[in-house]
Amino acid sequence: MDHSDFDLFSDLTPSETALLAAYSARITNRRADLLSTYPSTPAARTTAQNRHVFLTQRVIDSSLQQPVVIPSVWSQDECRTILSAILEYTNSAGAWSTQRHSAFPTTDIPVQSVPQISEFVHSTLRTRLLTSVISPRYGFHPSGRDLAFRDLFFVRYSALDPDSQRSLGAHSDGCLVSFNVLLNGENEFEGGGTLFVKTGQTVRIRKGDAVVHDATSLHAGVEITKGVRYICVGFVDTVDTVRNDERMKRDAGIAGTKARGGREMRMMPAAS
Ligand SMILES: O=C(O)CCC(=O)C(=O)O
Ligand SMILES: [Fe+2]
């Protein structure tokens, strides 16, 4: 049987179409009614309520879809210390992996694999980005209580040899908000930066700066044509979701850094 021209709604009468539209409007109104029962400030709402408000707001508020650059999240010295620890780790203890994300893999290592700087990276990104920038900007509790890192990893793009990864195709991330911090000098590579497909804008940041963006805006890692580009990437989500992921991974008996839930992967752009 040929299903190629099968259309579920093609035989609806005008009155059935009207009924369907009314039903859909009712759902939208119910959602608005529910949101209107929530307290008016993020500080007074639960984590789940803040998540719900964010999921609604980001669709209607186009300013939330714009990336923002946060200067000097790490100092030049801090970047140097972090990068040295990464290179020391990859030279001796372990190699860069391309297995951690099931779609759109990067050449990366998880932050927790580099013990000398893992705690420093987690705690400074929590205070300098999660609590002070991401929570207020996206409407979460000002203490940072609502948010956690769903994944935090270092990425390497290299034009030094033909086999290394130089770019990352257009994708969205399986979380609420994403960011990347540049770890080496912006003059140590050519090309690079984060491209946002909708506006065509490529954001090129300086060493120690971060670009923060809605995880669902389609974006890509622009190809580097010379040198090496190192970034630290964070996928941010609400604590309940991160906890659920971890429970699911434990229950599935998946161990270590290769563990991956469906939402940790980067996702294909929706077919248009
Ligand atoms: O290379 C970049 O600037 C983007 C990286 C990215 O989007 C990711 O790792 O998910
Ligand atoms: Fe991404």
Residues within 5 A (CB) of ion ligand 2: 173
CA atoms of 124 and 120, how far apart (whole Å): 6
CATH superfamily of this structure's domain 65-267 = q2cbj1_9rhob like domain (2.60.120.620)
Question: Is 205's C-beta closer than 6 angstroms to any atom of ligand 1?
Answer: no
Residue 24 reports pLDDT greater than 60: yes
Residue 119 and residue 186 in contact, taking contact as beta carbons nearer than 8 Å: no
Interval between CA 194 and ligand 1 midpoint (Å): 7
Atom of ligand 1 nearest to the CA of 219: 7
CA of residue 126 to ligand 1 center, whole Å: 19
Residue 271 pLDDT greater than 70, yes or no: no
Report the chain's mean pLDDT, rounded to a whole number: 89
For ligand 1, whether the C-beta of 191 sits within 6 Å is no
d(CA 146, CA 27): 27
ipTM value > 0.90: yes
Tokens of 142: 């000002």
Pocket mutation for ligand 1, best pick of 194, 201, 207, 237 (most atoms within 8 Å of C-beta)? 194
Ligand 1 atom 8, closest CA:
233
AA identity, residue 232: C
Give residue-wise pLDDT tens across range 216-264.
999 999 999 999 999 999 999 999 999 988 888 788 765 443 333 333 4
CA distance 7 to 153: 44
| Dist. CA 147–CA 176, nearest whole Å | 10
Q: How far apart are CA 254 and CA 120, in angstroms?
A: 27
